[in-house]
């Protein structure tokens, strides 16, 4: 099964809810994986369809993307990641306005095809249906995406942060994330405690 | 010593004086013996085996020769720590081979790897659970100051010394096992009460002079 | 490898009586500083007596912001961070990333041709690293089960490999040896000799390991029929590598996707066959790793024979890589499973987004499913058999 066939099948079933496909635009319609952008509300159905009718039995990877600052013209620039000021406080950043996206990479053991399904959402309302019911492995991958981008997966049974502590503020992989310098009583930056020199001095300190 | 010269047990006071007579020094001198380099000396005045030392130095000597590190691997550096404990480098040669799996039985914490915000409180708690006297080696540039994750590392504590006091810093990413052994020996020096030694290798001076302004 | 005949593990296991008893539920925290969790993994276990009711892994104690770092480092600079993901098989991660960038360049018509000599060097070094990684898996698995000796044996051979790497690139753990377009240095002649010697001596050592652990009665009792991950479960949970192959699925990217020059070598894909118990149990995963070491050795041996005597080690590369708007998802077979890099570029000299698909992350997920209903000691055996590296799970 070629990527073109997969896409043709998708377009037949879902019509204009299939938004665009990266490979066609760039004239590389035989290259796996092909990225197919779908409407957000169709995402779960598309995934189900791909699993049941097209034989994509493995979900490889779920990645979030923050399109803030993405240069469509292809000139590209060095994106400044927010930093610290001289006094150690994080540089304030203004909130971004770019879209967020989720990309699912699928693979089929039956015919060896790979395809990427993407859904783009507004930054103000980052809600995507969960595909945890389709592939259980998505449960953790979606938690990670939520952790990093704040994209909420509707219908996820257990949407918690997975890598960062549960009360962490902000979503670090968003481009407008401000670097913290403290987490509760844990200093992330700063000067060391008094440096010990010899055991005797330490004992004196304690008394 | 020959077994036939073994006499009846003497009380310590007597033994001490006897030793004084034996080596021909006075008592005061003997007591001050072993403060710095030699923590303890073993003398055998005729019969009983006597160890002469200040109690404090004797304890230190015992401490430094059987450091029990905690099995505490955090990240990549832990693999080098394992290698150091393994067959080729054999940490046990320096008396520090008894890796304990619990903080309550150990007196050295080798912070081997990146300390993250989520882990930092645990590191602190483990440190607090260790009985005194206790020492800390910060192994690897991550534990020293954030290392490769200094910039953009939003979740990385830039140096474990902001959480707990550190005795010896072992640089490298990762430090080779030899360097860890060196760090251990410097820690032993420190426990012994020796002053720290900073020897700058000659090549650094050469190198500095050759850097153009 | 031929195994001495050994009776299958009995169908009824010592824990069976405990399983039928009921008592109050207990909550136990295992980790994040626990000797058998292979790093800073925390397992929250609810137990009913000795039987595990549910397992919830808590990860992220080693989250080092690797993906954020990618957005602030150029394509070349990021190689050093791939080292620090799976620190037991740094060469393989390096290679996976480099191949992803090369693919991305190829998509954009900037393709570089990797010199043939460099390809051989890459294969040889990566396969040696695979052996080193599996050696650690073998050694620490023995430790988990309670056998101390294999660990020291494994470390001894691993040091031999590290010696070779040290001659090749100067480092013991963090190599950054692969660069986009080739490798950084040539293999010096004495290292080549050492590799040849290693290839000659290692089969004997493997035999020794098998005598030590593989068919050891206690070991078999503790691993056979324990932690069974069957094919459906493994596929559904995205398991890869020895975990997937242990479940009897013949899937190896080196053969099935055929990247680099793996099509020139003759090697097998070992799969779990339930020799000691059920297909997909801990013993099978362990055994797949042991067999893979043998296959890797065969690849190294063939590569040494086929390799041209000398050649270029690096293709012509622009110093400053700027890749136009495009994206790539490239996977390669690492010792732990399929390591994938999803790179989105926008014409700048840094990746706009670099997502790492880490195999161990997905392999660990399955423990939620498998862990329930086991004895606590079996849970330790199961976690060990997944061969986790927390640096890669948390990134
Ligand atoms: S210093 Fe280097 S080797 Fe050690 S934990 Fe940090 S990144 Fe890993």
Question: C151 contacts in B (CB within 8 Å)?
Answer: 86
Whether C31 shows a pLDDT value over 60: the answer reads yes
Task: Report percent pLDDT > 90 for chain C.
Answer: 4
Q: Which domain holds residue B6?
A: 2-65
Structure-token match 């990217």, residue found:
C253
Question: C87 contacts in B (CB within 8 Å)?
Answer: 75-76, 79
- For B151-163, how does the pLDDT look when each residue is reduced to its tens digit (9 = 90+)? 778 888 888 888 8
Q: List CB contacts of C64: < 8 A, sequence separation 6 or more.
A: B75, B114, B116, B149, B153, B155, B156, C84, C391, C394, C395
**Orientation angle between helical segments C189-209 and C116-145, nearest 10 degrees:** 30
Query: Which residue has better confidence, A22 or C101?
Result: C101
Establish if B197 belongs to a structural domain: no
Domains in chain C (CATH in brackets) are 66-393 (1.10.645.10)
User: Do the Cβ atoms of A174 and A96 come closer than 8 Å?
Assistant: yes
Q: Identify which of B113, B139, B149, B158 to mutate to test ligand 1's pocket (most ligand atoms within 8 A of the CB).
A: B113
Nearest to B110 by CA among B79, B88, B132, B148: B79
- What letter does residue C375 receive in the DSSP assignment? B
- For C325-381, how does the pLDDT look when each residue is reduced to its tens digit (9 = 90+)? 888 888 888 898 889 899 888 888 888 888 999 898 888 888 888 888 888 888 888
- My answer on whether B120 and B24 are in the same domain is no
pLDDT score recorded for residue B79: 84
Residue B173 CA from chain centroid, whole number: 21
- My answer on whether B122 and B35 are in the same domain is no
What strands, in cross-sheet order, belong to the sheet with B135-139?
Answer: B108-112, B135-139, B168-170
**Min distance A89 CA to chain B CA atoms (Å):** 13
Adjacent-strand bridge partners of B138: B111, B169
Residue A84 — pLDDT band, cuts 50, 70, 90?
low
Q: ipTM value, please give it.
A: 0.85
Establish if B199 belongs to a structural domain: no
Structure-token match 């050891």, residue found:
C216
CB atoms within 10 A of CB A72: 9
Where are the extended beta strands (E) located within C199-345? 326-334, 337-345
- My answer on whether B47 and B92 are in the same domain is no
Whether A65 shows a pLDDT value over 50: the answer reads yes
User: Do the Cβ atoms of B72 and B79 come closer than 8 Å?
Assistant: no
CA–CA separation, A25 and A9 (whole Å) = 18
The beta-carbon neighbor of B165 closest among A187, A189, A193 is A193
Task: Give the position, in ligand 1's atom list, of the atom nearest the Cα of B141.
Answer: 1
- My answer on whether B103 and B184 are in the same domain is yes
| Domain at B88, CATH number | 3.40.50.12280
Establish if B34 belongs to a structural domain: yes
| Domain at A74, CATH number | 3.30.460.80
Specify the 3-state DSSP secondary structure of C321: coil
Nearest to A46 by CA among A15, A77, A4: A15
| Residue with CA closest to ligand 1 atom 5 | B113
- My answer on whether B60 and B158 are in the same domain is no
Q: Which domain holds residue A37?
A: 3-206
Interface test with A, best of B39, B60, B117 (most A CBs within 10 A): B117
Cα of C287 vs centre of ligand 1, distance in Å, is: 31
Whether C9 shows a pLDDT value over 60: the answer reads no
Nearest chain C Cα to B156, which residue? C64
Three-state SS for chain B is: CCHHHCCCCCCHHHHHHHHHHHHCCCHHHHHHCCCCCCCCEEECCCCCCEEECCHHHHHHHHHHHCCCEECCECCHHHHHHHHHHCCCCCHHHHCCCCCECCHHHCCEEEEECCCEHHHHHHHHHHHHHCCCCCEEEEEHHHHHHCHHHCCCCCCECCCHHHCCCCCEEECCCCCCHHHHHHHHHHHHHHHHCCCCCCCCCHHHHHHHHHCCC
User: What's the predicted TM-score (pTM) here?
Assistant: 0.84
Q: Identify which of C83, C84, C90 to mutate to test ligand 1's pocket (most ligand atoms within 8 A of the CB).
A: C84
Average pLDDT over residues A74-96: 61
Question: C369 contacts in A (CB within 8 Å)?
Answer: 136
Whether C283 shows a pLDDT value over 80: the answer reads yes
CA–CA separation, A144 and A167 (whole Å) = 15
Q: Which of B42, B65, B88 is the last residue of a domain?
A: B65
- For A98-132, how does the pLDDT look when each residue is reduced to its tens digit (9 = 90+)? 788 898 988 888 887 788 888 888 888 888 888 88
Residue C255 — pLDDT band, cuts 50, 70, 90?
confident
Looking from the CA of C249 toward its CB, the CA atoms found within 13 Å total 23
- My answer on whether B102 and B165 are in the same domain is yes
Residue B102 CA from chain centroid, whole number: 19
Least confident of B113-122, C21-30, C231-240: C21-30
- My answer on whether B102 and B178 are in the same domain is yes
Establish if B207 belongs to a structural domain: no
Establish if B146 belongs to a structural domain: yes
Q: Tell me how many domains chain A contains.
A: 1
For chain B, list the contacting chains (3+ Cβ pairs, <8 Å). Answer: A, C
CB–CB contact C33 B78 (8 Å): no
Whether A93 shows a pLDDT value over 70: the answer reads no
CA–CA separation, B137 and C232 (whole Å) = 47
Task: Report percent pLDDT > 70 for chain C.
Answer: 92
Residue B95 — pLDDT band, cuts 50, 70, 90?
confident
Establish if B27 belongs to a structural domain: yes
Query: Which residue has better confidence, B52 or B172?
Result: B172
Establish if B174 belongs to a structural domain: yes
Residue B4 — pLDDT band, cuts 50, 70, 90?
very low
Nearest to A196 by CA among C308, C327, B135: B135
Strand B108-112 versus strand B135-139 pairing type: parallel
Helices (H), C171-216: 189-209
CA–CA separation, C102 and C113 (whole Å) = 9
Query: Which residue has better confidence, C53 or A206?
Result: C53
Strand A114-121 versus strand A34-38 pairing type: parallel
CB–CB contact A76 C362 (8 Å): no
Least confident of A140-149, B50-59, C191-200: B50-59
pLDDT score recorded for residue C130: 92
Average pLDDT over residues A131-160: 88
The beta-carbon neighbor of C349 closest among A57, A65, A78 is A78
Structure-token match 């020799």, residue found:
C275
- For B160-184, how does the pLDDT look when each residue is reduced to its tens digit (9 = 90+)? 888 888 888 888 888 988 888 888 8
User: Do the Cβ atoms of C197 and C327 come closer than 8 Å?
Assistant: no
Cα of B165 vs centre of ligand 1, distance in Å, is: 20
- My answer on whether B123 and B186 are in the same domain is yes
Average pLDDT over residues C107-116: 82
pLDDT score recorded for residue A77: 60
pLDDT score recorded for residue C16: 58
For chain C, list the contacting chains (3+ Cβ pairs, <8 Å). Answer: A, B
Interface test with B, best of C144, C170, C173, C387 (most B CBs within 10 A): C173
- My answer on whether B59 and B141 are in the same domain is no
Least confident of B50-54, B85-89, C60-64: B50-54
Q: Tell me how many domains chain B contains.
A: 2
Question: A190 contacts in B (CB within 8 Å)?
Answer: 158, 162
């Amino acid at each position: 099964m070629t990527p073109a066939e997969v896409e043709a099948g998708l377009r037949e079933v879902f019509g204009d809810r299939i938004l665009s496909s990266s490979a066609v635009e760039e004239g590389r319609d035989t290259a796996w994986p092909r990225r197919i952008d779908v409407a957000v509300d169709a995402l779960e159905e598309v995934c189900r369809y791909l699993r049941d009718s097209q034989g994509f039995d493995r979900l490889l990877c779920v990645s979030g993307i923050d399109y803030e600052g993405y240069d469509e013209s292809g000139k590209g620039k060095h994106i400044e990641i927010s930093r610290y000021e001289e006094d150690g406080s994080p540089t304030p950043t203004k909130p971004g306005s770019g879209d967020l996206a989720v990309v699912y990479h699928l693979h089929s053991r039956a015919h060896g095809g790979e395809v990427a399904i993407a859904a783009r959402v507004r930054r103000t309302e980052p809600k995507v249906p969960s595909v945890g019911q389709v592939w259980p492995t998505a449960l953790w991958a979606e938690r990670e995406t939520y952790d990093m981008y704040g994209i909420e997966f509707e219908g996820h049974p257990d949407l918690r942060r997975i890598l960062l502590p549960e009360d962490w503020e902000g979503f670090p992989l968003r481009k407008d994330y401000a670097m913290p310098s403290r987490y509760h009583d844990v200093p992330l930056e700063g000067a060391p405690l008094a440096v010990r020199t010899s055991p005797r001095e330490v004992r004196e300190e304690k008394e | 010593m020959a077994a036939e010269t073994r006499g009846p047990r003497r009380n310590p006071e007597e033994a001490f004086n006897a030793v004084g007579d034996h080596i021909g020094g006075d008592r005061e001198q003997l007591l001050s013996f072993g403060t710095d380099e030699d923590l303890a000396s073993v003398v055998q005045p005729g019969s009983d085996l006597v160890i002469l030392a200040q109690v404090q130095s004797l304890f230190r000597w015992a401490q430094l020769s059987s450091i029990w590190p905690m099995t505490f691997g955090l990240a990549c550096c832990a693999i080098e720590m394992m290698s150091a404990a393994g067959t080729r480098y054999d940490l046990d040669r320096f008396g520090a081979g008894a890796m304990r799996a619990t903080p309550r039985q150990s007196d050295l914490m080798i912070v081997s790897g990146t300390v993250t915000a989520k882990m930092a409180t645990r590191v602190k708690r483990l440190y607090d659970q260790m009985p005194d006297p206790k020492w800390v080696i910060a192994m690897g540039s991550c534990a020293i100051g954030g290392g490769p994750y200094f910039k953009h590392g939003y979740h990385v504590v830039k140096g474990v010394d902001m959480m707990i006091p550190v005795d010896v810093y072992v640089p490298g990413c990762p430090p080779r096992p030899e360097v860890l052994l060196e760090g251990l020996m410097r820690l032993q020096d420190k426990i012994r009460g020796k002053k720290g030694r900073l020897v700058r290798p000659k090549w650094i001076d050469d190198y500095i002079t050759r850097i153009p302004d | 490898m031929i195994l001495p005949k050994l009776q299958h593990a009995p169908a009824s296991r010592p824990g069976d009586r405990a399983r039928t008893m009921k008592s109050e539920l207990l909550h136990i925290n295992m980790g994040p500083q626990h000797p058998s969790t292979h790093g800073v993994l925390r397992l929250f276990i609810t137990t009913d007596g000795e039987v595990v009711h549910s397992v919830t892994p808590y990860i992220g104690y080693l989250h080092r912001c690797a993906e954020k770092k990618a957005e602030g480092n150029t394509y070349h600079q990021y190689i050093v961070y791939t080292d620090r993901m799976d620190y037991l098989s740094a060469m393989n991660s390096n290679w996976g990333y480099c191949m992803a960038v090369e693919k991305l360049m190829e998509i954009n018509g900037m393709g570089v041709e990797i010199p043939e000599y460099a390809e051989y060097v890459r294969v040889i070094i990566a396969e040696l690293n695979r052996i080193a990684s599996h050696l650690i898996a073998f050694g620490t698995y023995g430790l988990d089960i309670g056998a101390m000796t294999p660990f020291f044996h494994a470390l001894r051979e691993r040091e031999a490999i590290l010696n070779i790497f040290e001659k090749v690139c100067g480092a013991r753990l963090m190599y950054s040896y692969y660069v986009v377009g080739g490798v950084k240095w040539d293999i010096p002649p004495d290292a080549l000799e050492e590799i040849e010697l290693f290839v000659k001596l290692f089969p004997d050592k493997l035999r020794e390991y098998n005598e030590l652990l593989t068919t050891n009665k206690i070991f078999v009792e503790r691993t056979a029929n324990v932690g069974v991950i069957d094919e459906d479960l493994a596929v559904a949970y995205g398991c890869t590598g020895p975990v997937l192959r242990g479940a009897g699925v013949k899937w190896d990217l080196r053969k099935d996707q055929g990247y680099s020059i793996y099509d020139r070598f003759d090697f097998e894909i070992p799969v779990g066959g339930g020799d000691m118990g059920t297909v997909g149990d801990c013993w099978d995963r362990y055994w797949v790793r042991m067999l893979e070491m043998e296959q890797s050795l065969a690849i190294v041996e063939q590569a040494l024979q086929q390799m041209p005597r000398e050649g270029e080690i690096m293709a012509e590369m622009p110093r400053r890589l700027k890749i136009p708007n495009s994206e790539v998802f490239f996977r390669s077979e690492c010792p732990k499973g399929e390591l994938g890099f999803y790179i989105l570029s926008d014409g700048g000299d840094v990746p706009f987004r670099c997502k790492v698909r880490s195999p161990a992350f997905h392999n660990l997920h399955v423990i939620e499913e498998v862990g329930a209903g086991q004895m606590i000691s079996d849970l330790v055996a199961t976690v060990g058999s997944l061969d986790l590296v927390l640096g890669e799970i948390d990134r």
